[in-house]
Amino acid sequence: MKRYLFDYRSVPHEKRTLILAAMLFGSILSYFLITRFILTVGEVEGDSMLPTLRNGERYLINRMIYQFRDPVPGDIVEIHLKALDDFSVKRIMASPGDVVQFKGGRVYVNGKIHPEPYLTEGVMTDGKALGVNVFKVADNAYFVMGDNRSVSVDSRVFGAVQRQQLVGRLWIW
């Protein structure tokens, strides 16, 4: 006969129900806390991040990372667009205080060509949606763009996003 550290049969029925209810409540609370503050699952909707992310792909959002470090260019992030009450996935192109310029179909940050190995060859970037070809990123804000420049609605349209709009950094598998 096997011996167990805890034998539920020795606990009265009323206490078993209470233990089960406490375990269920703890599980639900843990799930809520983890998905609200640590990790969330998301799904790509649309083609604005092609070829990096495809429509329907799933990803994890690390909601805690920016409590420990600042966002950096190259991070793929989920942002909350308050005006639309919607969420979107974009890549950080520039940090607070940076100057973004669009010239000859290329993106320049602080006067240097921004390397973009993730773009499909021959992709040209147009900044005319902003009405200017030079944009200075405000304090506590980030300039974000989609990888599929021809269809992406991003900072070229709505301007830089505030840090508090960054939901978290994507973990892609």
pLDDT of 128 higher than 80: no
103-122 confidence digits (pLDDT tens): 989 999 999 999 999 998 88
Q: Determine the distance from the C-alpha atom of residue 103 to the mean position of all C-alpha atoms in its chain, rounded to a whole number.
A: 28
Q: Which residue in 10, 27, 30, 48 is the catalytic one?
A: 48
22-66 confidence digits (pLDDT tens)? 999 999 998 888 888 888 989 999 999 999 999 999 999 999 999
Secondary structure of residue 162 in the 3-state scheme: strand
User: pTM to 2 decimals?
Assistant: 0.82
Q: Which of the residues 10, 27, 90, 112 is marked catalytic?
A: 90
The Cβ-side half-sphere exposure at 169, using a 13 Å CA radius, reads 14
| Residue 90 a catalytic site member | yes
Residue with tokens 């900072």: 155
C-beta of residue 46 within 8 angstroms of C-beta of residue 55: yes
> Virtual CA dihedral for 124, 128, 133, 134, nearest 10 degrees?
-110
